[in-house]
A and B are shown apart, each in its own frame.
Chain A
Amino acid sequence: MKSLGSIRRSFAPWADASAKPYISFDNITKKFGDFTAVDSLSLDIYEREFFALLGASGCGKSTLLRMLAGFEAPTSGRILLDGQDLAGIPPYRRPVNMMFQSYALFPHMSVEQNIAFGLKQDGMAKADIEKRVGEMLKLVKLEQFAKRKPHQLSGGQRQRVALARSVAKRPKVLLLDEPLGALDKKLREETQFELVDLQYDLGLTFIVVTHDQEEAMTMADRIAILDKGEVVQVATPAEIYEAPGSRFVADFVGTVNLIEGELKGRENGVARIEDGQGLTILAEDAGDAAPGNRVWFAIRPEKIKVSAAKPDKTDSNAAEGEIYDIAYLGDMTIFHIRLDDGRIVKASTMNSARVSQELLTWHDRAWISFRPDSGVVLTR
């Protein structure tokens, strides 16, 4: 397989068979009454990794985090941290700290006192506490707010206090439960990068729970996608996007066109798929689907070319239709094209030039086409 996404740095302990995982969820199940929140889940996370648990609400991601923090006990299975079984260790003795979704800032304490709280619990000397609190305030740029109470701060400032408080103890692992959920879009984007830099500078392991795929893609080294208490796929952001393992993942992350068809055969690593309505797809595929199997071809909108002119080759990877909707987003334009068999395909083009050469508009006839390496063949 072609290399996908070593984006940020050459950091990939998960690819190294000799590397020891730092945190291991070992066959974890958690039930609340009849409801199974987490279902025999296993997951390894490595030291210094920025790991994201991504899923819709109720998928069990927060429960997983709370079990690691010690607020919930697994119904069965083990959680290992640096080789140590965490079972029976109460939250206040675990070397992990959590940043709460609600921030959970103590309303009767100042910013300073909030940050110092954890350090005091460790019985740190007063002078050291002051020094560390000072460092933390500087780190999150809140020096002049030290004496304020939480209700005198803006949402973004509160978020930074919560962050400072949870990293003040230099925990081995920092858990972040929807850390940016309460911020507005612009602030959220800025803060994403700040969090990544902070994690890198402090050399900590971060586990972040989020339902926002963009957030996970931006920040994480690896993402685990959860659905109904199970891990569906664990991979780097680029792999998740470009090589989703299932229709669920392809659909959950980003926008995708899914074309169902039958695998007819395979030649030189290129699969031939017919959808039974006249469209033949040739797609690069190293998978193990056998001829005759039902498969889905998944292709992202930006990898589909839209043109008024007929492509050179129309016997495969091309279809004709009518433009039925256009969404102009500024940086790109999204076309909804109704193929002649009635299916709708989404395609997007970057608006790299200010004035488009070829002006396509509502109800125009148009062709879509794509290359064999533009999509993936999925079997489930």
Chain B
Amino acid sequence: MKRLATAVASRLVILIPYLWLLVFFLIPFLIVFKISLSGTVIAMPPYTPVFSFSDGVSGFFANLAQLGIDNYLWLTEDALYVNAYISSIVIAAVSTAITLLVGFPIAYGMARAPAALRPTLLMLVILPFWTSFLIRVYAWIGILKPEGLLNQFLLWLGMIDEPLIILNTHTAIFIGIVYSYLPFMVLPLYASLEKMDYSLIEAAQDLGCPPIAAFWKITFPLAIPGVVAGCLLVFIPAVGEFVIPDLLGGSRTLMIGKTLWSEFFNNRDWPVSSAVAVVLLLILVVPIMYFQQVQARTQEQDR
């Protein structure tokens, strides 16, 4: 009896989260894919065909025949979409590179801080992550706008004569992404740097390697797992980012997350926005799978 209870319990441990994720994570993607092949109608739901059990088998096949790749063709015909994809990838890549440049010295400084101070520093990096993304992006509007605090400060310093236009430019998006995703870069970098045995650097110096060369030959190569994880954690969500380009990038910036949003909410074109999502997912599938592999590998090492 007890044995049975144990067996049932261990099945349930696996089954409950498994089924939940299947129903609420995997199946929705299949639905997105199906709708991306549907046509648009003005109705609720605003797409056709709608599969229903009442149609029977013949109705099912009739509906199946109505599916097509028109929406995907549409995406390739309109330069807007292609440009949005390209500019999203470019903006995400540039922001990731800047985040790495900004984040590495911080993570490095934290890893070399006195051991007693490290938990506090770590907490200070994590804390902003707990505050709302929306709020943090919003805070930058007040700083970056033409009559905002940054311009007031620079004018007061006398470094500029007239306000800089930063808000509603790519620069503002870069600032927003770097700012919002910085903790995601710093944490994995810190984790891999902190693990590193400092005597490796001493050994390199002892063997005749000056400090800066030792950094490139020893520290950086050993931090690469952290660099990879950090870059993926920034790049993947940044490609599909909506809030930052919407609030800081203005109407002229083209990013695919924003395009999808307006396609869905403003044009109410569900099939096209589904097609946009499927293509975005296809673009990201390689980095996402790579990210999972990195996760699995670090998990194996910790074991």
- A contacts, CB < 8 Å to B: 69-71, 90-94, 96-98, 100-102, 104, 106-108, 117-118, 121-122, 165-166, 169
Contact = CB atoms under 8 A, between A and B. Distances in A.
Contacts of A71: 202, 205
A96 B209 CA distance: 13
A160 to B, nearest CB: 15
A102 B199 contact: yes
A100 B202 CA distance: 9
A24 B211 CA distance: 27
A139 to B, nearest CB: 17
A117 B208 CA distance: 9
Contact of A106 (B200, B206, B208): B200
B215 to A, nearest CB: 13
Contact of B209 (A98, A101, A117): A117
Contacts of A100: 199, 202-203
B199 A104 contact: yes
Contact of A118 (B197, B208, B210, B213): B208
A165 B205 CA distance: 13
Contacts of B197: 102, 104
B65 interface: no
A92 B208 contact: yes
Contacts of B165: none
A121 B199 contact: no
Contact of A92 (B200, B209, B221, B222): B209
24 contacts: A69-B202, A69-B206, A70-B206, A71-B202, A71-B205, A91-B202, A91-B206, A92-B205, A92-B206, A92-B214, A96-B206, A98-B203, A100-B202, A102-B197, A102-B199, A104-B202, A107-B200, A108-B221, A118-B207, A121-B207, A121-B209, A122-B208, A166-B206, A166-B207
The 6 closest A-B pairs by CB, nearest first: A118-B207, A121-B208, A104-B203, A104-B199, A91-B205, A92-B205
Contacts of B213: 121
B21 interface: no
Interface residues of B, number: 19
B210 A90 contact: yes
A121 B221 CA distance: 17
A130 to B, nearest CB: 17
Given A107-B222, A108-B221, A108-B222, A92 B199 contact: no
A92 B203 contact: no
B288 interface: no
Contacts of A107: 200, 222
A41 to B, nearest CB: 22
Nearest to B221: A108
Contacts of B202: 69, 71, 91, 98, 100, 104
B30 interface: no
A80 B205 CA distance: 20
B160 interface: no
A69 B202 CA distance: 9
A44 B217 CA distance: 36
Contacts of A117: 204, 207, 209, 217
A69 B197 CA distance: 18
Interface of B: 197, 199-200, 202-211, 213-214, 217-218, 221-222
A101 B199 CA distance: 9
B209 A97 contact: no
Contacts of A108: 221-222
A1 B213 CA distance: 55
A92 B218 contact: no
B51 to A, nearest CB: 54
B107 to A, nearest CB: 18
Contacts of A93: 208
Given A92-B209, A107-B222, 18 more contacts: A71-B202, A90-B205, A90-B210, A92-B207, A92-B210, A97-B207, A101-B199, A104-B200, A104-B202, A106-B218, A107-B200, A108-B221, A108-B222, A121-B208, A121-B209, A121-B213, A165-B203, A169-B208
A92 B221 CA distance: 20
Nearest to B210: A92
B118 to A, nearest CB: 19
Q: Count chain B CB atoms within 10 A of each CB in A92, A98, A108 and give the residue with the most.
A: A92
Residue with the highest number of chain A CB atoms closer than 10 Å, among B202, B206, B208, B211: B206
B220 to A, nearest CB: 10
A366 to B, nearest CB: 53
A191 to B, nearest CB: 20
A134 to B, nearest CB: 18
Contact of B206 (A98, A101, A122): A98
Contacts of B214: 92
A90 B207 CA distance: 11
B77 to A, nearest CB: 49
A64 B203 CA distance: 17
Contacts of A69: 202, 206
A107 B204 CA distance: 12
A94 B205 CA distance: 10
Contacts of A98: 202-203, 206
A314 B211 CA distance: 70
A166 B218 CA distance: 17
Contacts of A118: 207-208
Nearest to B224: A108
A48 B60 CA distance: 91
Contacts of A92: 204-211, 214
Nearest to B214: A92
Contacts of A169: 207-208
Nearest to A168: B207
A93 B211 CA distance: 11
Nearest to B199: A104
A50 B44 CA distance: 89
